[in-house]
Amino acid sequence: MKPMLLLLLCLPGLATAASGAWQASATGPGLQNRGMQASSPGLAPAEKVNGSITEVAWRYVLNGPIPSGIRVHLCAETRCVPLDGASGTTRGLSNLMANQSLYFVYGVEGKGRLNRELRVLSNQVMVNYH
């Protein structure tokens, strides 16, 4: 077999990268005042993973209506991405190592006490990686 043909036969195997997903969930923080921020506990894979993040799906559940001025970010060690709702997907953390913890950061713009304490009942992520 000619070396070039052998190389072409091997390339599909080399191009196929291992991929997978992990998910985690936890309760989140509470906020009583505008102008403050609070972080969720870190959400990490339950098992050892090796690869880079391709996409993250998120979901969070609050104890009531979403207050005006809320700002939520999903963060890794070196990067945060703003979230545009209580659930969705983002590629904003792509190419970061998939074995690191992710966490949510919550804040409500303005000053003064919130009418009702904001409590995060659940934070969830599903991390796809390759």
Whether pLDDT at 63 is above 90: yes
Take residue 46 and report the two structure tokens written for it. 């339950």
Whether pLDDT at 7 is above 80: no
pLDDT band with cut points at 50, 70 and 90 for residue 19: confident
Take residue 71 and report the two structure tokens written for it. 């700002």
The pLDDT tens digits for 28-58 are: 999 999 999 999 999 999 999 999 999 999 9
β-pairing, 53-62 vs 37-39, is unpaired
Looking at residue 85, the DSSP 8-state letter turns out to be S
Termini Cα distance of the chain = 32
Contact present, 22 and 41 (Cβ < 8 Å): no
pLDDT band with cut points at 50, 70 and 90 for residue 18: low
d(CA 4, CA 82): 48
Contact present, 128 and 21 (Cβ < 8 Å): yes
| Domains (range + CATH), the chain | 18-129 (2.60.120.260)
The pLDDT tens digits for 77-117 are: 999 999 999 999 999 999 999 999 999 999 999 999 998 99
Count of CB atoms within 10 A of residue 56's CB? 24
